Amino acid sequence: MAHMTAVPALSVEGLTVEFRTRSGIVRALDNVSFSVEKGETIALVGESGSGKSVTAYAVMGILDPAGRVTAGRAMLGGLDLLSAKPSQLADVRGREIAMIFQNPRTALNPIRPVGRQIADVLIRHGNVPRNEAPAQAIEMLRAVGITDPVRRAKAYPFEMSGGMCQRVMIAIALAAKPSLLIADEPTTGLDVTTQAVIMDLVSDLARDLGMATIFITHDLALGGQRSARIVVMHAGHVVEDAPTKELFAHPRHPYTAELIAATPDAAASLDQLASIPGSLPDLRRADLPNCRYSERCPRKIDACVQPLPRPDPGATHIVACWNPLP
């Protein structure tokens, strides 16, 4: 929360989400808070099951029907996305806030030409007349780096590679020039070269449009590459929130430190790769501890059973821990 004077692009406050399942209630998210400034790029990082995707889905309002938001706000400008009417949400989605997903090929309509899918968004949000939409869609394809966009606009997702499908999804998301983009693991499943290319593409477009971006990833190194700030999540909690350089240089939460140690580095050997002991707690338990990392934390002290400390509103480096690293 660096620039206190400016209104953030998105401000998530106290988001709590639970899922009703056959085997009990899963407390997927507990009091999640973070914000993204206008034009800022942040990374939301955590292992599988940490709740990072659930956070995004809750903000976008596309949670699975079994999921419910039980507390919190998600302020996009002056609108609380979590209590907005469906018609308001449908207006805002695509126009102000957009999302791209992993597995791009299944995320696109398999029986509709990609140009039309882009045109659908343009017509709905972009104030583009119906007859001009196809031409603009072609321009969008060009902007995301697809060669021969005129021919490709008539193609179907199954005729394109994974990387191209992801570019199409980016085109769809950015067609109405939103002010915030959420990218949920956009490079998972793509080969390494394409990963870098896609990440560059999103960064460049974000910069050109002055668009804020949230990169969701399990890969700490990838998340750190292009974001100004990193928010680390564990088991539905935000455990640390700091500028990227600061986080890597001085991680304060024990989990973040373990995460950094477990991240493969070009110089490190396999022997030096650490693994994080223990596993995520079962989120269906009624007796979940206040700190969900405490049961596997090497720095646990008696004070850790109390509720997590409230974050200091003015701080740039937030840690949810009673015994952080110095």
Partner 1 sequence: MLTMILKRAAMAIPSLIGVVIVTFLLTRALPGDPAAYFAGPAATPQAIQEVRVKLGLDKPLTVQFGRYVDDLAHGNLGTSLTTGQPVVTELRNRLPASAELTLLGLLVSIVIAVPLGILAATRPNSLIDHACRIISTAGVSLPVFFTGLILVYVFYYQLGWAPAPLGRLDVFYNAPPQVTGFYLIDSLIAGDFGTFVASLKQLILPALTLAIFSLAPIARMTRASMLAVLSSDFVRTARASGLSPFTVIVTYAFRNAMLPVITTLGMVFSFLLGANVLVEKVFAWPGIGSYAVEALLASDFAPVQGFVLTMAVMYVAINLMIDVLYGVIDPRVRLEA
144 DSSP 8-state letter: T
Listed residue (232, 228, 212) closest to 220, CA to CA: 232
Task: Indicate the residue among 159 and 265 with the shorter CB distance to partner 1.
Answer: 159
Task: Indicate the residue among 28 and 308 with the shorter CB distance to partner 1.
Answer: 28
198: tokens are 């896609």
Binding of residue 283 to partner 1 (CB under 8 A): no
**Nearest distance in Å: CB 107, partner 1:** 5
Binding of residue 125 to partner 1 (CB under 8 A): yes
Task: Indicate the residue among 121 and 247 with the shorter CB distance to partner 1.
Answer: 121
> Which residues on neighbouring strands pair with residue 164, listed in sequence order?
none
Task: Indicate the residue among 99 and 222 with the shorter CB distance to partner 1.
Answer: 99
Binding of residue 79 to partner 1 (CB under 8 A): no
Residue 139, Cβ density class (10 Å: 0-12 exposed, 13-18 middle, ≥19 buried): middle
Range in contact with partner 1 (rule: CB under 8 A) among 93-101, 137-145, 225-233, 312-320: 93-101
Binding of residue 110 to partner 1 (CB under 8 A): yes
CA distances from 187 to 194, 229, 318 (A): 8, 19, 28
Q: How far is 246 from 153, CA to CA, in rounded Å?
A: 44
Pick the binder of partner 1 from 32, 43, 54, 60 (CB under 8 A).
60
153, 141 Cβ separation under 8 angstroms: yes
Q: How far is 323 from 255, CA to CA, in rounded Å?
A: 12
Range in contact with partner 1 (rule: CB under 8 A) among 9-17, 85-93, 140-148, 314-322: 85-93
Q: How far is 249 from 304, CA to CA, in rounded Å?
A: 25
Report strand pairing: 41-45 vs 24-36.
unpaired
Residue 48, Cβ density class (10 Å: 0-12 exposed, 13-18 middle, ≥19 buried): exposed
Range in contact with partner 1 (rule: CB under 8 A) among 28-36, 88-96, 138-146, 310-318: 88-96
Pick the binder of partner 1 from 5, 23, 48, 111 (CB under 8 A).
111
Q: How far is 179 from 99, CA to CA, in rounded Å?
A: 11
Range in contact with partner 1 (rule: CB under 8 A) among 12-20, 43-51, 153-161, 200-208: 153-161
Task: Indicate the residue among 156 and 248 with the shorter CB distance to partner 1.
Answer: 156
127: tokens are 């104030």
Binding of residue 124 to partner 1 (CB under 8 A): yes
Range in contact with partner 1 (rule: CB under 8 A) among 71-79, 152-160, 242-250, 301-309: 152-160
Q: How far is 222 from 267, CA to CA, in rounded Å?
A: 16
Binding of residue 159 to partner 1 (CB under 8 A): yes
Binding of residue 156 to partner 1 (CB under 8 A): yes
Q: Which residues bind partner 1 (CB under 8 A)?
A: 60, 62, 65, 86, 89-95, 98-99, 101, 103, 106-112, 120-121, 124-125, 156, 158-159, 169, 172-173
